[in-house]
């Protein structure tokens, strides 16, 4: 099973995980969060992120989900990317997280693709009078 680490500014990661648990009806295993605050030393964040990534990897790899491309959480996570072991996606949203959790028994590459698909296709404009039920 792919381990999932959600890394965001402030407490967004914890709230996203709580919402995903609500949708899924349980707290999935191998799922952790790491909040990054303005006062955190980036070197300490890197150490914490590396420790959590190692803890989450039970042999199938780890997917790190971050909030903003180019921001501190993403920049630090990019230092941990290892082909077929650690992948990183930015722009996390709830559909992306739920898809990652749902398909993480597949390969890391497949989980990344499913998460990206969920994140992209989960962003739609709802028009008046149209039925958009999932």
pLDDT in tens, 29-77: 999 999 999 999 999 999 999 999 999 999 999 999 999 999 999 999 9
CB atoms within 10 A of CB 23: 12
Q: What is the pTM of this model?
A: 0.93
**Cα distance between the two ends of the chain:** 26
**Chain center to CA of 133:** 25
| Helix (H/G/I), strand (E/B), else coil: 58 | coil
Name the architecture of domain 3-120. Answer: 3-Layer(aba) Sandwich (3.40)
- What was the pLDDT predicted at 22? 98
Residues near 27 by beta carbon (within 8 Å), at least 6 away in sequence: 17, 21
| Helix (H/G/I), strand (E/B), else coil: 24 | helix
């Amino acid at each position: 099973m792919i381990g999932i680490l959600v890394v965001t500014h402030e407490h967004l990661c914890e709230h996203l995980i709580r919402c995903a648990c609500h949708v899924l009806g349980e707290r999935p295993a191998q799922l952790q969060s790491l909040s990054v605050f303005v006062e955190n030393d980036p070197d300490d964040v890197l150490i914490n992120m590396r420790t959590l990534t190692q803890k989450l990897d039970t042999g199938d790899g780890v997917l790190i989900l971050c909030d903003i491309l180019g921001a501190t959480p993403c920049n630090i996570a990019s230092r941990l990317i290892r082909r077929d072991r650690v992948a990183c996606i930015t722009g996390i949203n709830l559909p992306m997280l739920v898809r990652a959790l749902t398909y993480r028994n597949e390969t890391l590459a497949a989980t990344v693709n499913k998460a990206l698909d969920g994140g992209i296709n989960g962003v739609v404009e709802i028009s008046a009078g149209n039925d958009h039920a999932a």
